[in-house]
Amino acid sequence: MLGRLTAGLFFLLLVWGNLVAGMHAGMACPDWPLCQGNLIPPLRLDVWMEFLHRVLAALATLTLLFLVRQRLSRYRGKWRAIPLAALGLIALEIMLGAVVVLLELPVQTTTVHFMIGLAIFLLVVYMALCDGTSRQPGFSIAQWGGPLFGIMLMVFFQASLGAYLRHSAAGLACPDFPACRGELFPTHWDGPLLIHFSHRLLGLGTLVTIAMLYIVSLLDERLKGRRTELLALVILVALQIGVGAATVVTGLSYPVTSVHLALTLGIIGLSLRTWLAQIAVPGGARE
């Protein structure tokens, strides 16, 4: 229960942060830890969006501390590094959050801030699934565990590239879809176009990879137990590409981009769950 609650709070925190960025409310509280010099800020939508983002961060951090304490008592040996890593990353994330505000949202720092938040989300989901009693922690990239773990990494870097795309103002470098500046494959390149088009190609590559693994699951007994999850991932990634197209044609509408991120979190969480389920069965044994 504690793991699910913590994962849910971090899910909400990341999506809320995306809304704050989409509304350009990131500097509505230009000071830290206060907000416009007050503990309780004035009644203004953009100010309260950023202020509630901070409140959500505090709640998520508090539940994470309880979760880390619980997992440290249940995990043994080297596996205690997992809750300790989550603890270290949340401390770094809090410091970076302050730096992002004080430096007025620099692109690289803001992107790293998101990447660390996504890494914490993954660690929280891992600890929620591996509670130390009904399921012990484990890691393996043997046999089909490797490709399934690779999918999770692909989604992680796809999401990170998307964050950089958003914060570097390259989100509309290709203002059309499925074409890019009227061409299926652009002939005139610049920095924003390279970032944007790479994001599209990685998304397509992720879809193709998962689809191929689903086909393999129909033929290989060692992967057949993951058939349902892989089909769900194919559907979710295809839907994600469609929502990505909608973010372009709507001119980066912030409700659409938030749905885009919510789907990403669902996909990466399901990828983690699929990998853990595979390495827990014969043929995908834990190391």
Residue 218: which of 228, 227, 209, 207 has the closest Cα? Answer: 227
What percent of the chain is modeled with pLDDT above 90?
A: 43
Distance of CA 206 to the CA centre of its chain: 15
Contacts of 134 (CB under 8 A, 6+ apart): none
Residues 2-25: tens digit of each pLDDT = 889 999 999 998 888 777 776 766
Here the tokens at position 183 are 């061409």
* Mean pLDDT, residues 37-54: 75
Enumerate the domain spans of the chain: 1-137, 139-287
Q: C-alpha angle with apex 142: 140 to 148, nearest 5 degrees?
A: 75
**186-234 pLDDT, tens digit each:** 888 888 888 888 888 899 999 999 999 999 999 998 899 899 999 999 9
Instruction: Give pLDDT, residue 283.
Output: 45
pLDDT digits (tens, 9 = 90+) for 91-111: 988 888 777 666 665 667 778
pLDDT digits (tens, 9 = 90+) for 123-146: 999 999 999 888 899 998 988 999
Query: Mean pLDDT over all residues of the chain?
Result: 85
